[in-house]
Amino acid sequence: MVDDCPFLKNCEHSLLFQGAEACLYILKDPNNILPNGQFLLKKRLLKQYRHAELDKKLTTKRITQEGRTLLKCQRLGIKVPIVYLTDLHERVILMEYLNDYQSLRCFLELQAYQDSDLKVLSLHVARLIAKMHDAGVIHGDLTTSNLLVKQIAENLPLPEAEVVMNGENHSEKFSIVPIDFGLSSGSDSSEDKAVDLYVLERAILTTHANMTSFFQSFLESYVAVSKFGGSTKTKLDEVRARGRKRDMLG
C-alpha cells in the first residue's frame, strides 16, 4: 500500500500526480535544507495482476535503470532532477522537485509563448535529445509530458549567450529538462533513436494537432546538430512507414 510507505508517513506530503505505473508526491523537507524546501517522491505501484516475482523484477529493473540514466545525464551535463535516494524495497526514488518548471505539454496547450519563440524552443528540445542520443541514452517514452520547460529571463546571465540555427543567432530562452526514465535504455542503434523520435512525433500530432511545424522544425535541427542525425532520420522514415501500415491493418 502507498500509505504504508515510511517516507510518506514521516513527512508532510501531497499527491502531485497518479498514473498507471507510479504516483508522484511532493514532500516537505523536514530539515529545510533544500532551496525550495521540497522533495519529489516517485512511488512505483504494486501490480496485483502480475505474478509477484515478475512484478518485483520489473519494478527493480525500472527503478535501477531510471536512477542510472539520471546519473548518466548529469555526468553528460544534461539538466535532470537530482537523485537523492533510491529504495528498491519501498519502490521509490526520492529526487529534486523542479517547482519552477512545467511540462512541455502544458506549456504548448496554454500557449505560454510567443509564436516567434516556437522555432527557438524546437531547437532547444532538438539539442537536448541529440545530446542524449549521441551519448547512447534512449528515453523510451519521449512525450511532451516527459519534457519540462522553463523560460529564462532575458536579463539573467546565461551559460551560453547565443545558439546558432540555420545561420541565425538566437538567445538562450528556454531550459529543457527530460524526466521519467523508467523505460530508458542504453543503445547506439539508429532504430532505437528513431523510435524515440517517432514516439515524440506521435505525441505532438495527437496532443497538439496544430503543432506539425514544431516537430518539423525540431527534426531539422536534430538532424543538423546530432552526430548521427542523417542515419536516424532515414531510420525514422522506415519506422513511420511501419506505423502507417499498422494503422491501415488495424
The grid coordinates of residue 219 equal 527534426
3-state class (DSSP) for residue 27: strand
Whether the CB-CB separation of 237 and 190 falls below 8 Å is answered with: no
Judge residue 184's burial from the number of C-beta atoms within 10 Å of its C-beta, 0-12 exposed, 13-18 middle, 19 or more buried.
Answer: buried
Find the distance separating the first CA and the last CA of the chain, reported in whole Å: 38
Which amino acid is residue 150, in one-letter code?
K
Whether the CB-CB separation of 151 and 100 falls below 8 Å is answered with: no
The number of residues in the chain equals: 250
Catalytic residue among 134, 141, 196, 247: 141
Residue 188 is a catalytic residue: no
Q: Which of the residues are catalytic? A: 141
